[in-house]
Chain A
Amino acid sequence: MNSLKSKMSPSKKILPIGYKYGFHDKVKSVFELPHGLTKKTVEAISFYKSEPDWMKERRLQALGIFKNMPLPTWGADLSRINFDNICYYLKPSDRKETSWRDVPPKIRRTFTKLGIPQAEARFLAGAGAQYDSEAVYHNLKEEWVKQGVIFLDMDSALREYPDLVKQYFGTVVPIKDNKLAALNSAVWSGGSFVYVPKGVQVTVPLQAYFRLNAQNMGQFERTLIIAEEGSFVNYVEGCTAPVYSLDSLHCAVVEIIAKPYARVRYTTMQNWSNDVYNLVTKRAVAYEGATVEWIDGNFGSQVTMKYPSVILKGRGSRADILSLAFAGRGQHQDAGGKAIHLASDTSSNIISKSVAQKGGRTSYRGLLKVVPQISGIKSKIKCDALLMDAESRSDTYPTMKIGSNDTQIEHEATVSRLGEEQLFYLRSRGLSENEAASLIVSGFIEPIAKELPLEYAVELNKLIQLEMEGSVG
C-alpha cells in the first residue's frame, strides 16, 4: 500500500465530477432529442445506454411519479426552474466544447488564484479535452481489482454488474421519495458505483476523477456505494474551484449502504457558479455497528438544497454529518442534515457552520428523529452561523421529533458576526482587515476543515481569502 501512497502525491489537484458541457441554444445532434421530459426521452436514454429492461421500466415509473408530484413548498425558491427547457441527454460525441476565451474572467482568475494548473482549469471549465488520468489511475486500479473492490462509473457498472446494481439501486432513496429524486431516477446518467467486499479497508481515498471520461459527468448523476461488513471506504468528490456550467439544474442522488461494522466517509466540496440549482438527495443506511460520515461543503450555485441523511437502522450505528455553507450575493444555501434513529444505542453528531455575506442567505434545515421503544440514544447538534454584514440572512430550522425517553439530546444554535475586537486584535499585529477576517472565518470553520483531505483544506483556506476580499468594511 505504501507504493500506492507515493503515487498519490498531495500536490495533485482533485478534479470535480461536475464537468459541465455548454448547452448552447441549439445543439446539432445526430440523435435528435427534443427538449423537455417525455416518455420518448426516457426510452431513448435507456436505449442509448443499452440498459436491461428492468432499468427502463424503473425510469418510466419514475417519470410518471415525477409528473404527478408537486415541488416542495419549503426550502429555497424553485419556482423558476423550467423543466421543459432542459436537454435531458446528450451523447458524448455530440458534446460541444466551450472556448477558454468564453469562460468568464472571474472564473479564470479564481483558478489562477487557487493555483489550479491550466490544463485542469480548462477541463473544469469545459474548455479542454478530457483529462487523461489513466496513468495515475492504472496502478491503483490493479490493486483494487485484486481486493475485489469495484469502482466504476454508474453506466458501466450497470452493464458489467447488473445483478449487484439491481439489488441495491433505489433501496435507500426510493423513486417516490421526492420530486427531484423521481426526476433523477427517470433520467439519471453517470455517477459512481463503489462496491467494497467484506473486511476490505480502502485506505486511499477514492476520488471521483479516477473515473476516466466525461461520460460520467453530468447533471443527473446517480451514485451508489455498498460497503460490506467490516469494510472501510473514503469517497471524495468535487473541488473548491468554481465549476463553470451553462446547465441550470444539477439534480443528483447518492445512496450509501453501510453493512454491519462498515465505515463509509463521503466528502463533497461543491462550488457551482452561475445560475445553477443544485438539488441533491443524499442518504445512507447504517446497519449494526456501522458508521457513516457525510462531509458536505457548499459554495457557489444560485440555490442549493442538500440534507445528507443517515438512517440508523442497526443497533450501535453512528452518524456524523458536517455541513459547511458559504453564501454570497444572490445565493441561497439551504443545507443541513438528518439523523433518523431506528435502533437502540445509536448516536448522531451534526455540526453545521455557515457564512453569509453580501446579501447571501444560508439556512440550516435539519431533522433529528427518534422512534419510540428504543434506548440509549445520544445526539448532539450544533449550528453556528456567521453573518458578515447587515444585508445577509441566516435561518435555522432544526426539527426534533423524539418518541423515546432514554435519550440524551442536545441542540445548540448561534448566529454571530465577525467580532470587532477580534478584528482589531489581529490588525494590531500587522494583518490587514481582509487577512484578519479570513483568519477568523477559517478558525470558525476549523472543526469541519480539519476533517478534509489536506489538499482540500488548503484550497478551502485560499477560497475563503478570495471570498473575504472586499467583504469587510
Chain B
Amino acid sequence: MSDLLQKRVSNKKGHFCLLNFSSSTECPVLIKKTNYPTIYQISVKSGVKATVIFADVSRIKIEAIVDKDAEFNITTVISETNQVELNSEVKLKGRGAMVNQNIIALSSNQENISINCILNHLAPQTYGRIISRRVLAGSSQSTLYGMLKIAPGAYSTDTYLSDKVILIGDKARAESVPSLEILTDEVKASHGATIGKMSPDELFYLRSRGLSLSDAQTLLLRAFIQPVLTGVDSNIVEHLLKKLNKL
C-alpha cells in the first residue's frame, strides 16, 4: 500500500476516518469490525483505482468522492452483527469516474439490517453499479434503499442497481426500494430487484443429479452471492460460506 493516508479523529459521536487515495493500490484496503459508529470519508483522486472492503460492519456512514477517470470499488459484507446500519453516498464528481458497489448481507437470527445507498452522478460519462445480494433467515429483517441519481449535464452515464433477496423460512422480512432520479436524457439507467425463496426448479434439478436438499441449497446460495464476492479476501469468503451452510 503506497501513499495511503489514514487519519483517525476520535469524537464523542463516534469515529471519523479519512481515506485519501492519491495513487492506485492493487491491494484492497480491508476494514474490519467497527464496533462503534464510524464515518468514513473517502476520496479517490484523478485516475486512481482503489478498492475498499468493509467486513462485519455495524453502524457506518460512507461519503465517497470519485474524481476524473478514477475507479472506486467498494464491497460491504454484513454477516455477524445484530443491528446494522449502512449509509453510503458515492459522488461521481469527475468525468469518467466509476464505482462498483457490492453489498452482501447474510443473516440467520434476529438481525435488523438497514441499508441506504446513493450513487450521485454529477459528471458526464460516469459509470455506476450497485449489486446487492441478501440472504435472510430466522426472523431477520432487512431494508434496502438504493437511489441512483443523475444530475443535469451528466450525459452518457451508465448506471444500474440490482437487488436480489432470498428469504428462508417464514419469519424473515425484506424491503427493497430501488429508486431513480434522472435529470438528463442521454443516459443508461435501470434497476432490477427480485425477492423470494430459492427456485424450486433449480433445487429439483440439482437433486435429480444426486445432491441432497441441503447440499443443493448450499450450492445455490453460493452461486447467488458469487457476483458480489470479487476481490474479497478468501478468509472472509470462507467465513461467509460457513455461515451459509448453517442457514
Contact = CB atoms under 8 A, between A and B. Distances in A.
A249 interface: no
B183 A413 contact: no
Contacts of A412: 190-193
Interface string A398-413: 1111111111111111
Contacts of B193: 398, 400, 409-412
Interface in A360-389: 372-373, 385, 387-389
B179 A397 contact: yes
Contacts of A402: 165, 167, 173-176, 195
A39 interface: no
Interface in B68-108: none
B178 A390 contact: no
Contacts of A390: 152-153, 155, 184-186
Interface in B181-210: 181-197
A372 B173 contact: yes
Interface string B150-180: 0011010000000001111111111111111
A329 interface: no
Contacts of A398: 177-179, 193
Contact of B180 (A373, A403, A404, A413): A413
Give the one of B153, B166, B171, B193 with max A CB within 10 A.
Answer: B193
B87 to A, nearest CB: 18
A411 B190 CA distance: 11
Interface in A411-444: 411-417
Contacts of B197: 405-407
Contacts of B177: 397-400
B170 A414 contact: no
Contacts of B168: 405
Contacts of A388: 185
A451 interface: no
Interface residues on A, range: 20 to 34
Nearest to A404: B170
A156 interface: no
B194 A387 contact: no
B182 A415 contact: yes
A395 B167 contact: no
Interface string B33-69: 0000000000000000000000000000000000000
Nearest to B199: A408
Nearest to B178: A398
A78 B152 CA distance: 24
A412 B155 CA distance: 22
Contact of B176 (A393, A400, A408, A416): A400
Interface centre among B180, B183, B193 (most CB of A within 10 A): B180
B171 A372 contact: yes
A408 B196 contact: yes
Contacts of A400: 174-177, 193, 195
Contact of A415 (B152, B153, B187, B196): B187
B120 to A, nearest CB: 14
B190 A413 contact: yes
Contacts of B196: 405-409
A415 B178 contact: no
Residue from A401, A407, A413, A414 with most neighbouring chain B CB atoms (10 Å): A413
A414 B189 contact: yes
A409 B197 CA distance: 10
Contacts of B187: 415, 417
A178 interface: no
B150 to A, nearest CB: 8
A396 interface: yes
Contacts of B192: 410-413
B185 to A, nearest CB: 4
Contacts of A411: 176, 178, 191-194
A392 interface: yes
Contacts of B169: 405
A223 interface: no
A407 B165 CA distance: 11
B175 A401 contact: yes
A92 to B, nearest CB: 45
Contact of A413 (B178, B186, B188, B194): B178
Nearest to A374: B170
A153 B30 CA distance: 68
A390 B182 CA distance: 10
B170 A405 contact: yes
B173 A415 contact: no
A394 interface: yes
Contacts of B173: 372, 401-403
B185 A387 contact: yes
A224 to B, nearest CB: 33
A405 B152 CA distance: 40
B179 to A, nearest CB: 5
A404 B187 CA distance: 36
Contact of A404 (B153, B155, B167): B167
B136 to A, nearest CB: 8
Given A372-B171, A398-B177, 19 more contacts: A387-B184, A390-B153, A390-B155, A390-B186, A394-B182, A395-B179, A399-B177, A402-B173, A402-B174, A404-B167, A405-B166, A406-B196, A407-B195, A408-B196, A409-B194, A410-B193, A411-B176, A411-B194, A416-B188
27 contacts: A373-B170, A385-B180, A385-B182, A387-B185, A390-B152, A390-B153, A394-B180, A394-B182, A395-B181, A398-B178, A400-B175, A400-B176, A401-B175, A402-B176, A405-B168, A406-B170, A406-B196, A408-B196, A409-B193, A409-B195, A410-B193, A411-B192, A411-B193, A412-B191, A413-B190, A415-B187, A417-B187
Identify the 9 closest CB pairs spanning chains A and B, nearest first: A405-B167, A387-B185, A414-B190, A396-B180, A411-B193, A417-B185, A415-B189, A409-B195, A400-B176
